[in-house]
Amino acid sequence: MSIRIAPSILAADFANLESEMAQVSTADLLHVDVMDGHFVPNLTLGLPVVKRLAEVSPLPLDVHLMIEDPDRWAPRYAELGAASVTFHFEAARDARQCAADIKSTGARAAVAIKPGTPADAVTDLLEDVDMVLVMTVEPGFGGQSFMPETLPKLTALRAAAEQAGAAPWLQVDGGISVETAPYAVAAGADTLVAGVSIFGPADRAGAIQAIRDACRH
């Protein structure tokens, strides 16, 4: 199984984002957290910043919307250049239609679930989305500790996808590091979001490679 690494710019230096992005160009995706201060108690960035990031990023943008009313806003992020747009199941009025609207722009559509949301809440969407994001921390802030109790959801989703004949990527986000990534991959994840563990060290390429190596071993 091929493992994709998505550095989260939530842990980057916001005053030097273009330089920070260049230093993680050996990854597969660039994870961009959009928070509105309502769905989660934090506020980050929005449409104009994502548009500019898409213009200069060396990697496809993986935009994670932690916002209210994703049914309205998710397609806009896709239209501005995001390669993948993730909305939260807990926030969407019509998750299946939201995914369809994202995909109609040519972008990949993904649905995310919080730690307290069971896997079976989204099993009927596995054929409608390109990725499922299982949050391994409570959404809203970077630098939190990995929650191992979320891992059985990955195993359940992988089994349900195989039974349905679907093949969505399974992503994890929260507390991912050299130590925790192998557990996530063993449980079924194939796409790993990592913030502090990549942007914390001076050698970002080395940090990315260390996670890849840990998952292989």
* 3-class secondary-structure state, position 170: strand
Active site residue 69: no
Name the catalytic one among 36, 62, 173, 190.
173
The β-bridge partners of 110 are: 86, 131
Active site residue 190: no
Phi, psi of 63 (to 5 degrees): -95, 125
Name the catalytic one among 33, 62, 101, 130.
33
Q: CA triplet 164, 91, 132: central angle to 5 degrees?
A: 30
- Spatial contact of 99 and 111, defined as CB atoms under 8 Å apart: yes
* 3-class secondary-structure state, position 109: strand
Strands (DSSP E) found in 141-183:
169-173
Catalytic residue set: 33, 173
